[in-house]
Amino acid sequence: MNALYSVLAVLAAYLVGSVSFAVVVSKAMGLADPRSYGSRNPGATNVLRTGNKTAAALTLLGDALKGFVAVLAARALAVRFGFGDGTLALVGLAAFVGHLFPVFHRFEGGKGVATAAGVLLAFDPLLGLGTLLAWALIAFFFRYSSLAALVAALFAPLWYLFLFRPDAIAAAVAIMSVLLIWRHAKNIQNLLSGKESRIGQKKAAK
């Protein structure tokens, strides 16, 4: 029975992760679908290209909260349903994968930076805060969201192993990092060719 509850928890986390706040917020605020301009990525950085900082902030908050809440809810129910670290790791990973491949949005998802941050914070505050600090430092000095995300993705699993030990959650963090880097393949090419957009750069006028 515990295995069934674990499967249901992972499925629920995926469904929660599948809610794309970039799409939802943009539609609610009368903005263009973020998949139709800029990087075509449904995430806070692309929404910011519209110049609407409120929409970008709400997108960032919503995408982070869904990862945070999914893991936190599973942790709160751990004793009642017998969830171990393995289930918590899978729940966090499922919320992240839901953002990347959302069932509610034709599997056209974002790159997962905000959702990953929420998951990491729920796994452990020191893990999340340390990773966010790494992101913030790179973003502040270089003004590239993608570069900051890549550095944070490399930093997170190493930071987890420094803080704790190899376990199921460490594996989930490593998998999320690999997926996040993979989702940034085009950004890596743009960075190398000098074509990557900087934080806050608006979409080009048509």
> Rounded to whole angstroms, what are the CA distances from 138 to 68, 114, 142, 150, 154?
23, 16, 6, 10, 13
Which DSSP state fits 15? Answer: H
pLDDT tens column, 179-203 = 999 999 999 999 999 989 887 665 5
Please state, in angstroms and rounded to a whole number, the distance separating the CA atoms of residues 184 and 135: 15
Question: Would you state the pLDDT for residue 89?
Answer: 98
Q: Any idea of the CA torsion for 110, 111, 117, 119, to the nearest 10 degrees?
A: 70
Question: Would you state the pLDDT for residue 8?
Answer: 96
Please state, in angstroms and rounded to a whole number, the distance separating the CA atoms of residues 2 and 80: 10
Where exactly are the structural domains of the chain?
2-193
Please state, in angstroms and rounded to a whole number, the distance separating the CA atoms of residues 44 and 34: 9
Average pLDDT per block of 10 residues along the chain, 206 residues long: 90 97 94 88 88 93 97 96 96 98 92 97 98 96 94 98 96 98 95 86 50
Could you tell me which residues come within 8 angstroms of residue 198 by beta carbon, excluding any fewer than 6 positions away?
143, 144
Q: Residue 141 carries which side chain, given as an amino acid letter?
A: F
Please state, in angstroms and rounded to a whole number, the distance separating the CA atoms of residues 196 and 183: 15
